[in-house]
Copies of this chain bind each other. A is one copy, B any other.
Amino acid sequence: MRRILFCMIAIGASACSPTDEAPADTLATLFADGMTVVDLTHAVSADAPYWPGPDRSPFRHDTLSAHADGAPSMAAYSAPEHFGTHFDAPVHGGMGLASVDRVPTSELFGPAIVIDVTASAASDEDYAVTADDLRAWESEHGPIPSGAIVLMRSGWAARWEQGDPYYNRGEDGRLHFPGFGEDAARFLVEERDVAGIGVDTGSVDPGNARGFPAHGIVNGSGRYHLENLADLGSLPEAGAYLIVAPIKIEGGSGGQVRVFAVVP
C-alpha cells in the first residue's frame, strides 16, 4: 500500500529529489536509532526464578576486582545453560541435533508472531495454547510465514520479580503456568515451518504437562525455544521482527540469550 502511494507521488512530482519522495531505507533508519527496539531479556542475577528441583547449579557472580564503590570492574560467573531468559538448542530435545553454536544465523532473524492468551491465562494457570488460537491469529493477520518465531504472551512476566509465584508450585506438588499445547506445537512444525517458539513463562510446555511434549515436537524437529522472555506486552501481534542472539557455547544445549524485537 505504501509502495503504491509512493509511485503515485513520484510520478506526479515536478522535481524528483533523492530526499523528498523516496521512501526511507528502513534498515538505515533502524541503525540510526530511528525505530523502536524492545529488549525482551530479563537481567541475569542470583535473584532470578529458577526451575524447582535438585542437581541444578544456581547462578553465581564472583568479583575478581572491584572499584572503591564495590562494583566489579572484573568478574567471573557460573550458570546453568537453561537459566533466566534462555535459548533451548535443538539438541536439548533430541540426540544428534544442533547445539547452540550450530544454529544457522538465518534462523535467528525472523518475523515475530505474538499469540496473546493473557485473558485465558488469567483464569486458568494451566492454559495451553491451542492450534485454534494459532488459526485465530491467522484469520486476522494471514498465514504464519516460514522462519517466523511464534511467541506466547500470557502476562506471566509480571510474576518474574515475585519469585515463587513464577514457577508456581501448587499444593498438588506440580507446577502451574501456561505454555504451548501439543496440538499447537504440531501445527507449527507440521503445517507451518517456524524457526522457533517462545514464551514469557519458564517452559514452552505448560508447568503441569506430563513429560515435555512441546519440547519433543519443536526441539525434536530441529527448532529452538526461547523461555522466560520479558516485556512481550510491548509488541504488536504482527509486524515486529526478532533478533535472537544466544551465547555461542561450543556444544551447548542452550544458554543465556539476548532477544531484541524491532518494531517498525
Binding site for B on A (CB under 8 A): 1, 3-4, 6-8, 10-11, 13, 16-19, 21-23, 25-33, 37-39, 41-45, 55-57, 60-62, 64, 67-69, 71-82, 85, 91-93, 95-96, 99, 101, 105-106, 108-111, 145, 147, 241, 243, 245-253, 255-256, 258, 260, 262, 264
Contact = CB atoms under 8 A, between A and B. Distances in A.
Given A26-B25, A111-B31, A92 B79 contact: no
A105 B39 contact: yes
Contacts of A72: 91, 251-253
B21 A23 contact: no
Residue from the set A1, A79, A246, A249 with the largest chain B CB neighbour count within 10 Å: A249
Nearest to A102: B43
A68 B95 contact: yes
Given A7-B21, A27-B241, A99 B71 contact: yes
A23 B256 CA distance: 37
A253 B16 contact: no
Contact of A260 (B79, B245, B247): B245
A250 B1 CA distance: 43
Contact of A252 (B28, B61, B92): B61
A110 B28 CA distance: 9
Contacts of A73: 91-93, 95, 253
Nearest to A55: B64
A33 B106 contact: yes
A225 to B, nearest CB: 13
A26 B26 contact: yes
A74 B82 contact: yes
A44 B74 contact: no
Pick the 5 closest A-B CB pairs, nearest first. Answer: A245-B245, A78-B78, A26-B27, A7-B16, A45-B250
A4 to B, nearest CB: 5
Contacts of A92: 73-74
Given A71-B95, A243-B260, 4 more contacts: A7-B18, A8-B16, A44-B101, A61-B249
B22 A105 contact: no
